[in-house]
Structure 1
Amino acid sequence: MRVSTLIALTLSTASLWGMPIAPIHAVQQADGTVSFEKSPRLINVFTTFDHVGVWGAKYYFTLELPENAGEPLQKVTISQREGSETIRFRLDDTLAFTGTARNKGEQLPLQSVNRDDATKTVSVSFAEPISPGTTFTIGLQPQHNPYWGGVYLFGVTAFPAGEKPYGLYLGVGRLHFYRRTSCRWGFC
């Protein structure tokens, strides 16, 4: 008999006898792998400056961990999937906070920020897992915006807390960089 069938039968029998049933908060496989019950969502991705070659830009990735996620979030990976040029980041300048870039809340301490050059992936691990029901934003600072304009795509994956987390791919964030076509305020 499968474990899930056995659990369902046990819960059904317990509810028939009027026994209180504790809610199941996470999905855990027999091998110990932990996954979210309800998927986090990638809400928004944007940059503070969208012109090519600009220094001092920030790329903001806003995610929502729903109340019924079932498990806190421990790590997010951001992988450059498309673009004419590989974007390099100043990992020490990475930040995270509750809320959105336009409505910043409290800062979230980071445990580590790493880059895998082979896969063009930045991994952001939180010092304390992020609780369900939280909207939060990760800010990455590139060394500079790419010199080649166009569309750059970033795949975002979320990982729950636990020793064997199962990452959930949330989708693609899109940034578009433009070459200046006219002079503004006397600058060309």
Structure 2
Amino acid sequence: MRLLTLLGSAIATIAMMQGYAFQPSRAIQLQDGTVYFAQPPRLVGAVTTYNDVYVWGATYYFTVSLPDSAGEPLQKITINQREGVDYVRFRLKDSFAFEGSRSHKGQRLGLKDATSDRKKQTLSLTFDPPVSPGKTITIALKPVQNPTVAGVYLFGVTAFPAGEKSHGQFLGFGRLQFYRHSNLFYGW
């Protein structure tokens, strides 16, 4: 991250020395064509509709805010399960994304592609068209069922700008906690 900050500062300094006006809202593109966000999106939060183990019919919501100064639209999001005893499988055909937050649902977003790599425990969602800067979006993932083992499950979220060769920016972890509620019967 420090290297990227230094690289951005060096590019801005050289551009100003050459007489170019530096516009912080433009994306950064390296000589090899790799595109970076000028200002990366932010993971606002993650929440589930049901936090009991074994439950069917839950939805996991991941909300991401793309700043006006991002410089490039958001093309793809990857979500990687990094912690948790059980591997959570998702019904990608039933998952979707929309503008806004869970409490302020807006227009549905087009998904060009939704794939899962079980070996890497990662799913990828590609937006069509890409999401414009200045928007907040929410990804609604439908698991096959909640994990069977209680505990904390961490999902790493990475955002990619539009472009043939784009650099992913890690946004942080969505943390979901699942509980095993005991059914205690006191007498018959």
* TM class by smaller structure: 0.7 to 0.9
Aligned partner of 1:112 in structure 2 is 113
Aligned partner of 1:17 in structure 2 is none
Query: In the alignment, is residue 44 of structure 1 matched against residue 52 of structure 2?
Result: no
Shift of 1:54: 0.3
Map residues 1-188 of structure 1 onto 2, 5 A cutoff. 4=11, 6-11=14-19, 21=21, 23=23, 25-182=26-183
Shift of 1:180: 1.3
Output the CA distance in 2 between the equivalents of 1:53 and 1:156.
24
Q: Which amino acid aligns with 1:65?
A: L
Q: Does the Cα contact within 8 Å between 2:16 and 2:22 map onto a contact in 1?
A: no
Shift of 1:181: 2.8
Output the CA distance in 1 between the equivalents of 2:27 and 2:67.
13
Output the CA distance in 1 between the equivalents of 2:125 and 2:100.
17
**TM-score normalised by structure 2 residue count:** 0.88
Task: Point out where structure 2 has 5 or more consecutive residues left out of the alignment.
Answer: 1-9
Q: Which amino acid aligns with 1:164?
A: K
Q: Which amino acid aligns with 2:15?
A: I
Aligned partner of 2:3 in structure 1 is none
SS in 1 for 2:125: strand
- Name which one, 1 or 2, has greater alpha-carbon Rg: 1
Shift of 1:22: 7.6
Larger mean Cα displacement after TM superposition, 173-182 or 105-114: 173-182
SS in 1 for 2:18: helix
Shift of 1:68: 0.5
Shift of 1:6: 4.4
Instruction: Note the aligned Cα RMSD (angstroms).
Output: 1.7
Number of matched pairs: 174
Runs of 4+ in 1 over 3 A off after TM superposition: 3-6, 21-24
Q: Which amino acid aligns with 1:74?
A: Q
Instruction: Provide, for residues 25-76 of structure 1, a one-character-per-residue CA deviation record: whole Å limited to 9, x for no partner.
Output: 1100010000000111000100000000000000000000001011110000
Output the CA distance in 2 between the equivalents of 1:60 and 1:110.
16
**TM-score normalised by structure 1 residue count:** 0.88
Task: Point out where structure 1 has 5 or more consecutive residues left out of the alignment.
Answer: 15-20, 184-188
